Each structure stands twice: as C-alpha cells, then as structure tokens.
Chain A
C-alpha cells in the first residue's frame, strides 16, 4: 500500500479520521491510501482525494501538495520533504486562521502563442511560450479593485486568464464573497470567477514573484 499525499498539517487531529496521518518530524502529512496497482490518474481516486481535501480544509488550514506525490512510509516522506519542514511549520503557524480564495479573470489582451518552427531549440520555444503567457493582462482598473480585496498575489496560469489569489482570514470569506458580488456589478463587462476557500497553495510558495 502507498498513500497519495494531500497536504502538510500542524497537528495529527487536524487529519484523522478524514485521512491517514503520516508523521513528518514535528508535522504530519495527510494521505489517501491507494493500492499498489491503482493508477494515480484513476477517476474515482482523484474524486475521492478532492473530497478529502475539502473535508480537511473544513477542520484546519494546511499546505496543499500538488496531486501526484505518493509515499509508502514516514521514512520515505521524511527523505523527500526534510529540507522543507521548518519552513512549512513556520507557514502553518503563521496562517493557521487563513485560507486562500481565487479570483480567476479573463484577460483583456493576449499575445499570440509562438510558433514552434520559429525557434531553433525547444528551450528557446518554452521560454517564448512562458513570456507570451506572462504578457496577458486585465483591465488595470479591475486589477486595482481586485487587489483591494485583501492580501493578494497575481498569478499567470495560462494565456487566457489571470488569477488574483487572496489570503483571507477564515471569518472574512463571506466579506470577500460579498465584495466579489460588488465587483460583478462594478465591472459587468469583465468575466471572472471567485472561488474558495482553498488551502495554502500560492501563499505556501516563498519564491512567488
């Protein structure tokens, strides 16, 4: 048996009995048990993990691990995560009462995708693709209004949308939802989707630019 890792948590009781708690030094990983022969792309498994992720967030804030990381033991988890543990402990203590909310906005302008044939190397092509993605932007008035909703980081996901990721106190989620409704009234021409709460995803990344 192995476990697909869902997140990093401060306390064991934040995890059990929703998921398996895997000790990781002072912290714990939450995991969903998976049979050795079950592929991680299995539909039922993905949906089960998504449901467990939501249930875990209702209990306490955690750092989300991107789907696809599986371990067979606490020792294996320690070997792969040891350098991060102190940073994760600090982040979890700091953001114990916070969650993320995501405001996904359709971009106003895009730069065309580069043509693969125009580049001599794959690396040059990928760099150009990355730059084209980062060139996407939204109406600056909307950007300013969305940024006022709270502690926010803008993330380029693809060439068609931009995300404003907000760090929100758990008791501030309804306030942000109401502010999102107001944004819809103020900018009816700009399509966007406000979703959450989510665990720490973007704000778990100290290297965010």
Chain B
C-alpha cells in the first residue's frame, strides 16, 4: 500500500519548488493586474509532473 505521507511530502516539495521563491525579473514573468502569468504556466508543469508520477506508479 502506498505511503500517503510520502506522497503528500513529495507533492508539497514539488509545490514549493515550482510555485515559491524569487522570480528573476525580466526572465519570463509577465504580470497583469497582479496576476503572475508565469505562476499559471508553472502550475501546468506541476500538473504534468503529478500526472507523470501517477502514471509511473501505476506501471
């Protein structure tokens, strides 16, 4: 049986890696109305990573 706390810990770790920390100005960030578009893009990456992990685990 998968260890749920390990899954949670990995998700939290990825969430912090992809969605926290300093964004280097001028690198790729575009903000409109205080909404950070890079933030939205990286959420897509996170979703893909999450899906990849689940897919790998099912094999």
Instruction: Report which A residues bind B (CB closer than 8 A).
Output: 5, 7-8, 41, 43, 46-47, 49-50, 53-54, 63-69, 80-81, 83-84, 102, 122-124, 126-127, 129-130, 157, 193, 195, 198-199, 201-202, 204-205
Contacts and interface: CB of A to CB of B under 8 A. Distances in A.
Contact of B14 (A46, A63, A69, A80): A46
Contacts of A102: 12, 16
A64 B13 contact: no
B28 interface: yes
B42 A68 contact: yes
Contacts of A41: 45, 48-49
8 contacts: A46-B17, A46-B18, A64-B16, A66-B21, A66-B42, A122-B32, A193-B12, A204-B21
Contacts, number: 95
B27 interface: yes
Interface string B17-34: 111111111111000111
Contact of B16 (A69, A80, A129, A201): A201
A66 B49 contact: no
Contacts of A47: 49
Given A41-B45, A50-B13, A198 B35 contact: no
Interface of B: 8-10, 12-14, 16-28, 32-35, 38, 42, 45, 48-49, 52-53, 56
Contacts of A67: 17-18, 21, 42, 45
B34 A50 contact: no
Contact of A204 (B8, B9, B22): B22
Contact of A69 (B12, B27, B33): B27
Contacts of A64: 16, 20-22
B5 to A, nearest CB: 11
A198 B13 CA distance: 9
B10 to A, nearest CB: 8
B32 A126 contact: yes
Contacts of A65: 21-22, 24
B20 A43 contact: no
Contacts of A49: 17
A130 B34 contact: yes
Contacts of A5: 24
